[in-house]
Amino acid sequence: MLKSPIHAAGILSLLILAGCGGGEPADPNAGSEVLANGLTVKAQIEARQDGYKTLGRNFKTINDQLKTDAPDLAAIQGAAATMVEASANMADWYPEGTGPESGVETEALAAIWEEPEDFATKISDFDGALASLNTTTASGDFEAIAAAVKATGATCGACHDKFRLDD
Ligand code: HEC
């Protein structure tokens, strides 16, 4: 029942976005619809952005530590574990109606909902790489950790390339 008006608005806002080169629609009431999970569209989008901020912050902690002469293994382990926890349900961050058509500021592209299988693959590639990074941190082998960090970063980038708006 809530899907078709959102859809119509989506097509409209896509046209508007295309027309003015990517400005954000400034409707303060956008995203007030309530989703099946009880969150408003806006709250869902913000929660997902917070999730990614947590990922970004903790990934930076790991990268920064690896650049030092004496990396702090406990800090690396803690950050990797936090990343696993923060991203556990990433697939649930994307209910229908939380894309660019919502009118809420988001970098999520419509392709997420148009190519759900590929998006799910990107999530599982990421989950796999992060799980092995997390396991590798137990070894204390900084070279192996650095390799796992690189592999994980590649899965972040692969998803961003296709499914996140370019900065
Ligand atoms: C399966 C796809 C996918 C994966 C994997 C992924 N991201 Fe993202 N990321 C996105 C999308 C889509 C957005 C835009 C979300 C929005 O604005 O609603 C985003 C947004 C972000 C943001 C901006 C958050 C904000 O609003 O300030 C950061 C930072 C980020 N991602 C970091 C990462 C890092 C670091 C990784 C890997 C450790 C990662 N992402 C993995 C899809 C992904």
User: Where residue 122 sits, what CATH number does that domain have?
Assistant: 1.20.120.10
- What is the count of structural domains for the chain? 1
Name the band, by pLDDT with cuts 50, 70 and 90, for residue 167: low
Nearest CA to ligand 1 atom 8: 52
Amino acid at 158: A
Per the CB < 8 A criterion, the answer to whether 95 and 141 are in contact is no
Nearest atom, ligand 1, residue 49 CA? 26
108 SS3 class? strand
pTM: 0.87
pLDDT in the model for residue 15: 41
Q: What is the mean pLDDT of residues 129-140?
A: 97
The ligand 1 atom at the shortest distance from the C-alpha of residue 45 is 18
User: What is the structure's pLDDT at 5?
Assistant: 46
Tokens 């939380």 — which residue?
A: 98
Q: Is 7 in the pocket of ligand 1 (CB under 6 A)?
A: no
Q: What is the pLDDT of residue 6?
A: 46
Interacting residues of 99 by C-beta distance below 8 A, sequence separation 6+: 10, 106, 108, 109, 110, 112, 113
pLDDT of residue 152: 98
Atom of ligand 1 nearest to the CA of 165: 14
pLDDT digits (tens, 9 = 90+) for 29-59: 899 999 999 999 999 999 999 999 999 999 9
Q: Encode pLDDT of 2-39 as tens digits.
A: 444 444 444 444 444 444 444 555 577 899 999 999 99
Q: What is the pLDDT of residue 26?
A: 58
- pLDDT at residue 27 in the model: 76
Instruction: Please give the span between the terminal C-alpha atoms of the chain, in angstroms, as a whole number.
Output: 34
Cα(52) to centroid(ligand 1), Å: 5
Determine the structural domain holding residue 72 and report its residue range: 3-163
Predicted confidence at residue 21, as pLDDT, reads 44
Q: Where are the alpha helices (DSSP H) in the chain?
A: 3-19, 41-67, 73-86, 111-114, 116-137, 142-163
pLDDT in tens, 63-96: 999 999 999 999 999 999 999 999 999 999 999 9
Question: pLDDT tier at 97 (50, 70, 90 boundaries)?
Answer: very high
